[in-house]
Amino acid sequence: MPDAKVVTVSDGVVDGVREDRSGAALVDRLTAAGFDVVDRIVTPDGVGEVAETLRRATAGFAGLVVTSGGTGFGPRDLTPEGTSLLIERPAPGLAEAMRLVNPLGRLSRGVAGTVGQSLVLNVPGSTSASVECLEAVLDVVPHALDLMTGGHPH
């Protein structure tokens, strides 16, 4: 069973004025798909905050890290910029597939890629959109993780 972590990027959740519904929905969906969600993290918006949180989340971790929130056009929506500081190998096909699930997906600036043996996916903060975007790529994620950790399933 692959491991996963969910990172919610939201000033409102950190400040206690918003409930983390997208994080909870992602945990439920990942668990239903057979992932072992080993950590659920909340971090404020911002390039530095996201980068540092992802640095800690991916250190020595082999698995999937899904961030929720901060992928739009708001002034504090800087998750892709923070994620891009760490990405070693971009996975544009995953990001593109996630954007195609819904017409509003075209407004997502989320990125995907690898950091060490972690696969990082940025999904929107909307509860339904976060799950929709994850589902768009969930079928290929275990294969990607297997390849990243040295598997040769071909």
Per-residue pLDDT at 98 exceeds 90: yes
In a domain, 96, yes or no: yes
Separation of alpha carbons 19 and 33, rounded Å:
24
The answer to whether residue 152 sits within a structural domain is no
Residue 93 has pLDDT above 80, yes or no: yes
Q: Please state the domain count of the chain.
A: 1
| 92 domain-assigned | yes
pLDDT for residue 153 is more than 70:
no
pLDDT of amino acid 154: 58
87 within a domain of the structure (yes/no): yes
Q: Is 96 helix (H, G, I), strand (E, B) or coil?
A: helix
Residue 144 within a domain: no
Q: What is the pLDDT of residues 102-126, one digit of tens each?
A: 998 889 999 999 999 999 999 999 9
Structural domain of residue 99, as residue ranges?
57-62+81-117
